[in-house]
Structure 1
Amino acid sequence: MNVPINAKRLRASLPQVVERVRRGTRFTVIYRSRPAFQIVPVNDSGEAPVSLQDDPLYRAEAVGSSADGRTSAEHDAVLYPR
């Protein structure tokens, strides 16, 4: 379902809008009497999820060094939780 909502009402009722989006509702935000953007559920992006083996960033070789001293394995654990 696609529900129009103006920007003022969106600001005033953001927690309720977030909950409805989590349940599948799509919103078209109206700003200055014109559609400005849509809010859609994350799993409704139209893009197929990519497996880790097919993700080119996951398979990329390490370059440079980490400014925080962490290893690439530690960064991978944050970026690609299992």
Structure 2
Amino acid sequence: LLSTALGENDFPPGDFQVEITENVLLGRTTMTAIDPVCQMSVDPATAADHRVYEGHDVWFCNVACAQRFDENPSAYPLADD
């Protein structure tokens, strides 16, 4: 398995950082999101939970992180802030 980073994008405030990687095995491309609560990498296809916040998809590594996010979404800035 060879994984090549395709890059990170800078988004305006309120968006969440998404990193895209290309796995050179079966020619698949996967997207990895960052859980805004714990900063863990999350595969959206297998994420424990998901929200749409201000029009943006947000994925979580577990339900507890999603619940913490729900309590105060604005407390969780972009991963690179």
For Structure 1 versus Structure 2, the TM-score category normalised by the shorter chain is under 0.3
Q: TM-score, normalised by structure 1?
A: 0.25
Larger fraction in helix: 1
Greater Rg by CA: 1
Of structures 1 and 2, the one with the larger relative CO (CA 8 A, separation 6+) is 2
